[in-house]
Amino acid sequence: MSIDPRRLLGLAFASADLLVELQNGRVRLVLGAAQKVMGQSEAGLTGKSWPQLFSPDDQPLMDAMLACADDGVRRGPVVLRLAGAEPRHVRVILRALPENDGRISCAVTAAQPAGPRLAPGELQPRETFDDIAKGLFEAARVTGLELELAMVEFAGLTDLREGLPPQEAAALDVKVASAIRAESHGGSAATRLSAERFALLRQRDDQPDNMMKRLTRMVSAEAAAHMVPLEAGGGSTRALRALRYALDDFIREGLKDAPPLTLSEAMNRSVKRTLARAGALGVAVSQRRFNLAFQPVVSLGTGLAHHHEVLVRFEDGASPFALIRMAEEFDLIEELDHAIVEQAVKKLANDQERKLKLAVNVSGRTIVSETFVDHVSRLLAKYDEAKGRLIFEITETAAIDDLARANQNIQGLRSLGSAVCLDDFGAGSSSFAYLQQLSLDIVKIDGRYVRELADNGRDGAMVRRLVELCRDLKIRTVAEMVETIEVEEIVRGAGVDFAQGWLYGKPADKPCPALRPGAVVTPIARRAGASESWG
């Protein structure tokens, strides 16, 4: 076969180790380091089905990329795993050739895995999507990459899915996720917001209508989309906040008649609506229009409730998570923290038996405030009965921007007879830095890692090492999301001191005993040197 000079030119411009030409989904021509990149020779690859050269998890994404390869439109790059027992990954960019005869040119290079693998039908969770967006904002700032946010809505997708047998509904989920991923940057910058609404980040395109046509064709449900350019400059933090507002607005309202033209406009619209809700929240906080709920934290040495975590519940029944996040965004969180501590201290003061201990959540933004320690000090001076029975759990640790000041305030709380706990340990990459720079009494292990203990996986090993480290530092440990007897036995065997979860009781409107019926408890020795003022 004579080699078209344009193919050689394509290889030169592809900056790839391998150029593969496809026709009707099969390999027609191979040029370059086939054995090194794909693990097969050029002759061995020729004639094979291209999607089947990839792992079963990644085949649906490749099928979707091939199906939406418009004439002359570049797709990718995406990182995919090749089929076979040996873990081998490649980076693929493909483009339909201009002759419009079904030929597609693929530029392929060896690559390293790009983040956690997604199973067929899966998209990135919302929090991971935010992390990907933050990385892309930084890349765009440095490289000049032009990105846009695509908000996609499939009309009637829920009805379509519910009318299918389970196996066909699952196949539709795979098709939808693959179609959305194929349009996103890197094949991974996409998330599901609701049953019919999706968001993805992609390289800016002057022909958004083509994307809607491709999605409609692939999913067999009418797709509507709106593109919002990501403005250059302004910093990734502001851009990420604007992105969150835009997505929250899209979840609530869907695509309107006049969607926002920029992320700033989207943010401004959402802020106006949110400000009204924030004003109502501010009134609720100032007037103490909220209730407290209590969930037991059990000593694994005795099987009894050691203390109760205090959780806030608002009168209107709205999601505490959403309202607390709003409080953080609108700088109401310190006032809310003050109000909850005040109510908790009064609860302790009214406890006639003087045995109740309460753990109150404190935002990472509040713990760096000098006024918080002063507020607690005045409360305990007024309600002396509460001293020594108050624990503070520091949440949202990503908001701690001054570790030295945070530690100074933590020591101030400890000097008042209160213990201090670091919440959700392991949930962020900075957890060990916090453990190194903050003097603490307790560490609460993030529930995602606790669940892994039952599988004896990698995260389980990390939990066991963490418990050993805390033991050396004379810090006690709490395992959250303990929901089964099996997990309880495992965390006890790992040396964890306390456990919290539905096995011992859900949050209730008053503190309740938490001895699990039928529990057989083997006492464990109290750790030498551990704090006794709250034990």
Q: Tell me the CA end-to-end span of the chain in Å, nearest whole number.
A: 81
Q: Are 368 and 400 in contact (CB under 8 A)?
A: yes
Alpha carbon of residue 54 to chain centroid? 27
Q: Are 176 and 157 in contact (CB under 8 A)?
A: yes
| pLDDT score of 317 more than 80 | no
**Same domain membership, residue 463 and residue 376:** yes
Residue 183 falls inside a structural domain: yes
Domain boundary among 224, 241, 273: 273
Residue 509 falls inside a structural domain: no
Residue 524 falls inside a structural domain: no
pLDDT tens digits, one per residue of 171-221: 999 999 999 999 998 888 999 999 999 999 988 876 778 889 889 988 989
Q: Give alpha helix (H) positions in 220-332.
A: 236-253, 263-286, 320-329
| DSSP code for 525 | P
Distance CA 308, CA 304 (A): 11
**Same domain membership, residue 381 and residue 336:** yes
Distance CA 196, CA 221 (A): 10
**Same domain membership, residue 415 and residue 336:** yes
Residue 167 falls inside a structural domain: yes
Q: Indicate which CATH number applies to the domain containing 103.
A: 3.30.450.20
Residue 519 falls inside a structural domain: no
Distance CA 48, CA 365 (A): 57
**Same domain membership, residue 247 and residue 320:** no
Backbone angles phi, psi at 163, to 5 degrees: -85, 5
Band of residue 9 on the pLDDT scale cut at 50, 70, 90: very low
**Same domain membership, residue 325 and residue 243:** no
Distance CA 261, CA 363 (A): 34
Distance CA 314, CA 323 (A): 9
**Same domain membership, residue 164 and residue 56:** no
**Same domain membership, residue 355 and residue 322:** yes
Q: Are 15 and 37 in contact (CB under 8 A)?
A: no
Domain boundary among 88, 111, 134: 111
79: containing domain: 5-111
Question: pLDDT exceeding 70 applies to what percent of the chain?
Answer: 78
Q: Are 193 and 251 in contact (CB under 8 A)?
A: yes
Alpha carbon of residue 114 to chain centroid? 16
User: For residue 401, what pLDDT is reported?
Assistant: 75
Domain boundary among 111, 134, 151: 111
Backbone angles phi, psi at 326, to 5 degrees: -65, -40
Residue 280 falls inside a structural domain: no
**Same domain membership, residue 130 and residue 97:** no
pTM (2 d.p.): 0.54
Helix (H), strand (E) counts: the chain: 18, 17
Structure tokens given for 63:
């099928």
**Same domain membership, residue 479 and residue 446:** yes
**Same domain membership, residue 165 and residue 78:** no
**Same domain membership, residue 361 and residue 249:** no
Band of residue 4 on the pLDDT scale cut at 50, 70, 90: low
Sole residue written with tokens 């989309």: 225
Band of residue 523 on the pLDDT scale cut at 50, 70, 90: very low
**Tally of domains within the chain:** 3
Q: Per DSSP, what are the bridge partners of residue 442?
A: 421, 476
DSSP for 424-449, please give it.
Answer: EETSSTTHHHHHHHS--SEEEEPHHH
Distance CA 311, CA 343 (A): 11
Band of residue 83 on the pLDDT scale cut at 50, 70, 90: very high
Residue 118 falls inside a structural domain: no
| Coil, strand or helix at 93 | strand
**Same domain membership, residue 472 and residue 361:** yes
Q: Give alpha helix (H) positions in 72-125.
A: none
Residue 495 falls inside a structural domain: yes
| Coil, strand or helix at 33 | coil
Q: Indicate which CATH number applies to the domain containing 450.
A: 3.20.20.450
Distance CA 92, CA 37 (A): 11
